[in-house]
Amino acid sequence: MSEAWLVIDPGRSGERPVRVRGRLHLGRVCAGVPPEDRILIDDGGVSRDHAHVVIEGGRVHLVDHSTNGTRVNGRRIESGERVPLSDGDTVTVGRTDLGVRVLAPVEVEEGTETLREGQSAPMVVLVGDVVGYTGLSEANDPHVVAECLSEVFAGLRSRIVDHGGVVNSYAGDAVFATWDGSSASDAVRAALACQIAVEAMVPGLPLRYPDGSLLRIGWGVTAGMISASRPSPGRFVLHGDAINLAFRISSLAGRDGLPPVLAEHSLDLEPTIARGEQFELRVKGRAAPVRLVPVAVPAP
């Protein structure tokens, strides 16, 4: 299950996170609610019981029940409306901004576990994320999307395995793989091999964006401590900031002029891997910019 916090005074030295423990109430009074499950806001424009944040089905949602409404990322939410929240969102109640922090563990396929339950270890993480998945889904029949992405992901899996990685899961529009902590170069080479494979495969697929362009995938490579848990029989989950960051980076790679393969600048890569100039990028959910390095796909 996801873990979530609302952060009071986000981005400031005195910021204070308040954990969502089932349901977190927001308002001027929140009568009858334990102090640890409420955020009181002294503002005449805020209702006594203004809104609440709840985790259900593994997703974080905000439900408004106020007179003056709540804003999520600047959009007004009306009374009774229920909206999903993501890591890095901003909830505005009256004149108060609250940052949203979500740590979403990734469930992996049974049999692909690289860690034992309760174990932690340094690992390298690779995530490949389909660019513009929403537009792709709107422009194509669902069966076509499913069949084409299954074919693409099958081809990517073989490239990842060839480079020593373990494909842990697929998330509909993303592939998630791991290596041990000393294999950053292998993970980057896998990302490059996957990018070349995508460019070779997609022209023959009946899958197009609304503007007629071909399928694209962005890649993010990170490293850090990863922990494992088994919340119930048959389920195995990996946790770690490196996973969240890899998903965030991959969701930006290949978009808005950014290269398709991006890696954390601190990764220990072999000199033979061609890298571009380091740069900083604002990543959702992070107070400070993340330093990244683009990795070039070799010319044919």
The predicted-structure confidence for 176-188, as pLDDT tens digits, reads as follows: 999 987 789 999 9
Is the pLDDT confidence value at 113 over 50? no
Across 206-232, average pLDDT: 88
Across 272-286, average pLDDT: 86
pLDDT of residue 235: 60
pLDDT of residue 115: 54
Whose CA is closest to 178, among 233, 135, 118, 240? 240
The kind and range of the H/E element at 55 are: strand 51-56
Between 21 and 29, the more confident residue is 29
Is the pLDDT confidence value at 169 over 90? no
Q: Kindly report the number of other CB atoms within 10 A of residue 150's CB atom.
A: 11
Is the pLDDT confidence value at 11 over 80? no
Identify whether the C-beta of residue 50 lies closer than 8 Å to the C-beta of residue 28. yes
pLDDT of residue 231: 60
Determine the Cα–Cα distance for residues 246 and 94; give it in Å rounded to an integer: 34
The residues, any chain, with a CB within 8 Å of residue 156's CB and separated by 6 or more, are 128, 175, 194, 197, 198
Across 141-154, average pLDDT: 90
Tell me, what DSSP letter sits at residue 216? -
Ramachandran quadrant class, 52 (left: phi over 0; alpha: psi -120 to 50; beta: rest): beta
Whose CA is closest to 99, among 35, 39, 23? 39
Whose CA is closest to 28, among 48, 11, 51? 48
Mean pLDDT (the chain, rounded): 86
Q: For residue 196, give the amino acid letter.
A: I
How far is it between the farthest Cα atoms of the chain? 67
Is the pLDDT confidence value at 160 over 70? yes
Residues in the chain: 300
Report the percentage of the chain scoring pLDDT > 90: 53
pLDDT tens sequence across 223-271 = 998 887 766 555 667 788 898 899 999 999 998 889 999 999 999 888 8
Give me the DSSP letters along 94-111.
TTEEEEEEEE--EEE-TT
Q: For residue 202, give the amino acid letter.
A: V
Across 41-70, average pLDDT: 91
pLDDT of residue 14: 67
Report the percentage of the chain scoring pLDDT > 70: 88
Determine the Cα–Cα distance for residues 274 and 218; give it in Å rounded to an integer: 18
pLDDT of residue 181: 79
pLDDT of residue 3: 72
pLDDT of residue 226: 86
Q: Which two tokens stand for residue 65?
A: 């029940």
Give the ranges where the chain is alpha helix by DSSP (H).
133-139, 142-162, 184-201, 241-250
